Chain A
């Protein structure tokens, strides 16, 4: 008994430790995966290595296509726009700045812009924003990737009605008025659900401060 006791304690402590370790591991793994893709994209700009590009393609192209299909594009166009977006990934890799965004966010914006171009016959010019100057008042940009992981986890915890408007907006390309019509709720409610969702996500985004 007296011999068992400390052992039992150790076992419990070990169990707690390993749970914490597992949680940390999965956090680590996610961070590593995210770092991997951002590192891969950064390396691509230097190396112009097509096998590196092949890795990025196999991860992102099928997801980009899913995104474009959800925007309501027919299969053939979705395939084409995916190709165009991935070609831009290759060509513009030198513009990717992992301090500003993760690889998935950067590729999302390229795919979004390609889709906008396609949907509007009369092209919307794509606006190049000025380079970010270091501003002590703004958040440290180097943390964007980490914060994005938290955001991803936070999206999964949003209440259904907030997750719904987020998906309709970002992934079905619906304007706020269209969402209001579709759900039969006032425009103001659509916006306030989006604001609520974003303020929760932002809390994770800003957690590091």
Chain B
């Protein structure tokens, strides 16, 4: 996989700090799964946390804290390996997403939200939302900007927009100042994972009409 669009540093820092909403954290993990370059960058953003840990003044623990822990060291491990569901049915997807979906892509309850566009809400905890979009060849998503941040990971196919061409494994890491209108410009459908931390804002009449239905 040739990946040419990566996360903003600020996004990886939020991932390392553990402050991303669930959907965005899922998306970052999916890209990291595919992208050794960003994994290497993440070692650096994690290391910021490690360095800060060393700088913290130590807090007092309960007097018997270590004894309490010692007593537990030889306990048998319980559910340490929370048996992740087998991801066999979706081998083409990055593991974190495949583990979340219980069925192959085609058997999932997609909802049609407009001409040539289907959506599947992953129903993760907010703020924001995470969804899969499935866009038919030749179709474009209405022009929109974002109240907060929007991350998109291409799982299959490709699209083109004001920012360039995005193929499998690429991420678009956008904030509120960017307005874009992705267009699927090949004869292959495009499936992407989109995670936001605030509702999207559609511009233009069609966008405003469509927004209540999409609920993006």
Whole-angstrom distance between the Cβ of B122 and the nearest chain A Cβ: 12
Contact residues, A134-179 vs B (CB, 8 A): 135, 137-139, 141, 144, 147-148, 151-152, 155, 166-167, 169-171, 173-177
Task: Tell whether B50 is near chain A: CB-to-CB under 8 Å.
Answer: yes
Chain B residues in 8 Å Cβ range of A63: 53-54, 56, 58-59
CB of B53 within 8 A of CB of A90, answer: no
With most chain A CB atoms within 10 A of its CB, the pick from B16, B48, B72 is B48
Bound form: Cα–Cα A100–B20 in Å: 23
State which of B39-47, B102-110, B164-172, B202-210 sits at the interface with chain A: B39-47
Q: Classify chain B: how many residues form its interface, as a range.
A: 35 or more
Bound form: Cα–Cα A188–B178 in Å: 11
* Interchain Cβ contacts within 8 Å, total number: 198
Chain A residues in 8 Å Cβ range of B14: 169, 175-176
Q: Which of B18, B46, B60, B84 contacts A116 (CB 8 A)?
A: B18
CB of B9 within 8 A of CB of A195, answer: yes
Known contacts A101-B50, A112-B49, A198-B48; is A138 also within 8 Å of B175 by CB?
no
CB of A155 within 8 A of CB of B175, answer: no
Interface string of A53-78 (1 = CB under 8 A from B): 11001101111111101100000001
Bound form: Cα–Cα A42–B36 in Å: 24
Chain B residues in 8 Å Cβ range of A155: 48, 51-52, 55
Bound form: Cα–Cα A55–B49 in Å: 21
Bound form: Cα–Cα A198–B100 in Å: 32
Chain A contact surface mostly: helix
CB of B51 within 8 A of CB of A148, answer: yes
Whole-angstrom distance between the Cβ of B54 and the nearest chain A Cβ: 5
Q: Which of B21, B32, B47 contacts A205 (CB 8 A)?
A: B47
Bound form: Cα–Cα A195–B48 in Å: 13
CB of B32 within 8 A of CB of A144, answer: no
Contact residues, B1-18 vs A (CB, 8 A): 8-10, 13-14, 16-18
Known contacts A64-B53, A90-B73, A115-B18; is A129 also within 8 Å of B13 by CB?
no
CB of B33 within 8 A of CB of A130, answer: yes
Interface string of A2-17 (1 = CB under 8 A from B): 0000000000000000
19 more contacts with CB within 8 A, not counting A79-B65, A101-B46, A205-B47, are A54-B66, A60-B53, A62-B61, A63-B54, A67-B53, A105-B43, A105-B50, A113-B18, A120-B22, A125-B82, A127-B95, A138-B36, A170-B48, A173-B18, A173-B19, A175-B127, A191-B10, A194-B13, A205-B44
The 5 closest A-B pairs by CB, nearest first: A105-B50, A62-B58, A127-B29, A152-B51, A191-B10
Q: Which residues of B contact A (CB under 8 A)?
A: 8-10, 13-14, 16-22, 25-26, 29, 32-33, 36-37, 39-40, 43-62, 65-66, 68-70, 72-73, 77, 80, 82, 84, 95-96, 99-100, 125, 127, 148-149, 175-177, 197-198
Q: Which residues of A contact B (CB under 8 A)?
A: 50, 53-54, 57-58, 60-67, 69-70, 78-79, 82-83, 86-87, 90-91, 100-102, 104-109, 111-113, 115-116, 120, 122, 124-125, 127, 129-130, 132-133, 135, 137-139, 141, 144, 147-148, 151-152, 155, 166-167, 169-171, 173-177, 187-188, 190-192, 194-195, 198-199, 201-202, 205
